[in-house]
Amino acid sequence: MNYINPPKVQVQGVHHRTFYSRIYKHDIGYSIYLPDDDASGDRRYPVAYHFHGWMGNESSEIQAMEKVCRGRKAITVFVNHAHVNGDVKDLPVAPMFIQELLPHIDSLYQTVSSREGRTVSGFSMGGGIAARLAFRYPDLFSALVAYAGTYHHYFHKDYLTVGTPVEQAAEIYRTMMREEKFFDGNVLCEASRYADSIRGQLKISLHVGTGDVLYCDNEILHLHLNALQIPHEYRLFEGADHALEKIL
């Protein structure tokens, strides 16, 4: 993991900052978009946290997300995190984010520091991380947007859903539901475990292109949320492949 990655191209309103992580024992970079280039006055702003995809960093998706940032009166924080899914012993994503970065941002900026003023999003691997965080901590986030989320890492390794035709998703899902081993710490498990807290409380939007290798992954999560009667938006982008800028 590269801990500090300033943007190579400057985007108006975006600043690069660092904070010290006791968990990682290192300074870690983050990029932050401030509406009107100023969030230090009396007005408080909601905060949107965004997790990058595999091999990305806190600066790699700023340009793709620029129109989203400018389309809302909110602070946007681009999180730098390990190239892993979920929490691992050496680089735990969730504790660093929940215990360190969230309070750091709330202490420095004029934020709405409640679940009503806090949302989370992510692309690809970051979409999977964002989904797990939103499902696991529904008291912290009011909305989730997962852009072409990578969920297959959370499924049993016998099922390789990458590139699998979407027509097979329902069959794969039915098979998974018959075996308990598929509910051991994956994103489906989180949705089931916290369904009562999520339902009607967390606004969920899943975006994916029909030409994306992760289309089947997203279809399975969509089927699971339907089975749990958890309302969500499922946005399909005809022909779009695995590219963030095509599914915003």
Share the mean pLDDT of the chain: 90
Where residue 210 falls among pLDDT bands split at 50, 70, 90?
very high
Q: What pLDDT, on a 0 to 100 scale, did the predictor assign at position 175?
A: 82
Q: What pLDDT, on a 0 to 100 scale, did the predictor assign at position 41?
A: 65
Where residue 222 falls among pLDDT bands split at 50, 70, 90?
very high
Q: What pLDDT, on a 0 to 100 scale, did the predictor assign at position 2?
A: 87
pLDDT above 70 covers a percentage of the chain that reads 88
Where residue 176 falls among pLDDT bands split at 50, 70, 90?
confident
Q: Which amino acid is at 138?
A: P
Distance CA 134, CA 153 (A): 17
Most confident residue range from 33-47, 77-91, 160-174, 214-228: 214-228
Q: Is the pLDDT at 108 greater than 50, yes or no? A: yes
Instruction: Check if the beta carbon of residue 116 is closer than 8 Å to that of residue 138.
Output: no
Eight-state DSSP code of residue 131: H
Torsion of CA 99, 102, 103, 105, to 10 degrees: 150
3 state SS of 168 = helix
Q: What pLDDT, on a 0 to 100 scale, did the predictor assign at position 153?
A: 56
Tens digits of per-residue pLDDT, 83-102?
A: 544 444 556 889 999 999 99
Backbone CA torsion sign across 21, 23, 26, 29: negative
Give me the helix-helix angle, 169-177 and 215-227, nearest 10°. 50
Tens digits of per-residue pLDDT, 117-157?
A: 999 999 999 999 999 999 999 999 999 999 999 886 555 55
pTM, rounded to two decimals: 0.93
Average pLDDT, integer, range 236-241: 98
Q: What pLDDT, on a 0 to 100 scale, did the predictor assign at position 36?
A: 77
CA atoms within 13 A on the CB side of 40: 5
